[in-house]
Structure 1
Amino acid sequence: MNLKQLRYFLAVAEEGQMTAAAKRLHVAQPPLSYQIKQLELELGVPLFKRLPQGVVVTSAGKLLVGYAQQLTQLSATAENKIRALAHGITGTLNLGTVSSSAGVMPNQALLKWLHAHGDVQLELTEGNTYELLDDLHKRLLDVAIMRTPFNRQHLICRFFPAERMVAVLPQRFHQFENRRQLRLSDLDGLPLIKYRRFNELFHVAFLEQPFDPQFVMTCDDARTAMHWADHQIGVALVPRSLAATYDSGQVLIRSIADRRFETQLVLATTPESYATPLVAGFMDQFPQAQPVD
């Protein structure tokens, strides 16, 4: 099994036809079919079910798709980084971002750096903190913007200012119009929408309260929590920067007084990636690194 076969395999899997895949790859169909057949013989399983109108990926083929995508992406990244090393700060920067980073990135430091390095391209990947952390360690990402808490061992980190969590309230909760912040006790009886990222934080904080919180929804994206609060479904508990970014004007945004309801965005990379001029130049636009061994 080689990278050429994997690239051919992915093209066929994505196109659903040998003819279309051959056209996309700029190769004749017989060599393409031969490489796919050799890959199936080597693995000992059929990867496609042949049909009159095209091909369908088998269960074994579906399993291979994920691995093939990772291997081909890693190969392309390695090639890009090695070539870019000889030219200094140039090439493609693979940047991972969590949805709740929209309030702080992009910022002026990033825009200034990109303007000064016109040969740099950004390849963005969105995901949750744990997905991005895994991709960092697999070298599929150069840098990632993640949200605490997470394991920072063997990473070089730049920390954005800590921020409070807020309650995003539908306007029907007019009793809070003249309040600047809410206590946890004020959330008693309210329909709450939580961002799954903070499950543990909420669990610990509410253990000390004399009531059980009423969670009506849990979601994987803070923007989704905001969207549902905007549609009057419940009270979203999200970071302040994200609430300010996506404020529709149809909700009340109030700080939560409990200091445990704080969070922080972190720009992180691995020591191996930081050794390249591209990543080091990018990271150096932000506050002093705090590597953790």
Structure 2
Amino acid sequence: MTAPRTAPTYRIDPFDLRLFAAIVEHGSITAGARHIHLSLAAASTRLQQLEHAIGATLLLRSRQGVRTTDAGRTLLLHAGRLQRDMEALHADMAAHAHGVRSTVRLLCNTAAMTEHLPGLLGRFLVAHPDIDVDLRELGSRDTLMSMRQGQADIGIVADNVSTEGLNTRFFREDRLVAVLPREGRRATRQPLPFTDLLEKPFVGLASESGLSRLLHDRALQHGRGLHHRVRVRGLDTLMQLVGEGVGVAVVPQATARRLASDRVVARPLSDAWATRQLLLCTAGDTPTGAGAAALHAFLAQASD
């Protein structure tokens, strides 16, 4: 009977990963060791210990140099990721050493990201040079999931999702409107239902944006999909393409006003879901951490 294999007690040293990556990059153990200022004997010993720790051969040696095995390619993938994470860690710690005391993780939907937060965040960051903000756009459901998992300090979500277990307060009213190429001088601005748009080609944002996910879900509720002629990264480009006649789009009303042109007509959506309240969301009454608490208080005051 074969004895069960025991896990090796040797722990992988980040330096060994750096050595391994250098050997692969430079094509030989000698060149890799030289690159990180290590003797050939020491590099060979560390490589043998690394292979023993993993329990697999990482490199195939030959007179022409080295080639990675399947295990080696897997390790190289993780080694690169870990090195990038370490570099990010050093950068973050250096920021603290230079007086940056905190980073606030803020998640929000498309409307908040593009229309409501830029000016507010600008004033806050100028007034608080010791606080950084990690700002990311997510759909409301994904934002709430991240909040419940402790992956964000503050969220801004639409009120069409359940915020049970989280603390919320009103932040802004947000209305979605349809934008269409203007046809004729007297284009109507009467409200229309979202279903009237489903037969038309769309100009949209990236599929992972909060607004794109919302429209996709609403179309599916009608048993339909959206035909996107093109997806773009910014609302300014989106509005320009609508004006060129490429297709229609749905955007926040504030966007339609800010980027209005005589080539585009904005029409309110008559659907109840198109008029929403944006909610400021935290896990408790106030976020933990001085930086997050300061930003939350600033945004709450701006919503009064």
TM-score category by the smaller chain?
A: 0.5 to 0.7
TM-score, reference length from structure 1: 0.61
Name the SS of the counterpart of 2:172 in structure 1. coil
The answer to whether structure 1 residue 106 and structure 2 residue 129 are counterparts is no
In structure 1, distance between residues paired with 2:142 and 2:16 = 24
Does the alignment pair 1:115 with 2:132?
Answer: no
Q: Are 1:190 and 2:205 matched, yes or no?
A: no
Choose which of 243, 268, 276 in structure 2 pairs with 1:255.
268
Task: Report SS of the residue matched to 2:180.
Answer: strand
Q: How many residues align?
A: 267
**Pairwise mapping of residues 33-44 of structure 1 onto structure 2 (< 5 A)?**
41-44=52-55
Contact 1:5–1:36 (CA under 8 A) maintained in structure 2: no
Where does structure 2 lack aligned partners over 5 or more consecutive residues? 1-9, 28-34, 205-211
User: Is it true that 1:30 corresponds to 2:33 in the alignment?
Assistant: no
**8 A contact 1:7–1:72 mirrored in 2:** no
Q: Greater RCO between the two (CA within 8 Å, min separation 6)?
A: 1
Return the offset for 1:279.
0.8
In structure 1, the gaps of 5 or more residues are: 20-26, 289-293
Describe the SS at the equivalent of 1:177: coil
Match of 2:227 in 1: 215
Find out whether 1:177 has 2:207 as its counterpart: no
The aligned residue for residue 297 of structure 2 is 284
2:77 maps to which of 62, 72, 80 = 62
**For the structure 1 residues 169 and 272, does the alpha-carbon distance in structure 2 shift closer, same or farther, using more than 3 Å as the test?**
same
Tell me how far apart the structure 2 counterparts of residues 186 and 238 of structure 1 sit (CA, whole Å). Answer: 16
Q: Give the distance between the partners of 1:137 and 1:114, measured in 2 at CA.
A: 26
3-state SS of 2:133 partner: strand
Cα distance between partner residues in 1 of 2:149 and 2:14: 22
The verdict on how the C-alpha distance between 1:77 and 1:160 changes in structure 2, with shifts beyond 3 A counting, is farther
1:267 & 1:69 partners in 2: Cα distance?
Answer: 36
After superposition, the C-alpha distances for 1:92-140 in whole angstroms (9 at most, x for unaligned) are: 32334544421111234x3443333222223344555566555555555
How much does 1:215 deviate? 3.4
Secondary structure, in 3 states, of the residue corresponding to 1:182? Answer: coil
Contact 1:136 1:143 (C-alpha < 8 Å) held by counterparts: yes
Structure 1 residues 42 and 147, CA, compared in 2 at 3 Å: closer, same or farther? farther
Pick one of 14, 18, 31 that aligns with 1:5. 14
Aligned-pair CA distance for 1:278: 1.4
State the Cα deviation string for residues 45-98 of structure 1 (Å, max 9, x = none): 5789999799998245436766x48975997799799x79xx9x9333233454
Contact 1:189 1:213 in 2 (8 A): no
Evaluate the alpha carbon distance shift between residue 162 and residue 121 of structure 1 in structure 2; reply closer, same or farther with a 3 A threshold: same
Q: Is the 8 A contact 1:196 1:219 kept in 2?
A: no
Q: 1:275 aligns with which of 288, 301, 304?
A: 288
1:235 maps to a residue whose letter is V
- Coordinate RMSD, CA, aligned: 5.2
CA distance in 2, matches of 1:127, 1:92: 18
Q: What SS does the corresponding residue of 2:251 show, helix, strand or coil?
A: strand
Structure 1 residues 8 and 193, CA, compared in 2 at 3 Å: closer, same or farther? same
Larger Rg belongs to: 2
Tell me how far apart the structure 2 counterparts of residues 274 and 36 of structure 1 sit (CA, whole Å).
46
Compared CA separation, residues 71 and 104, structure 1 to 2 (3 A): same
Aligned residue for 2:106? 95
Tell me the TM-score normalized by structure 2. 0.60
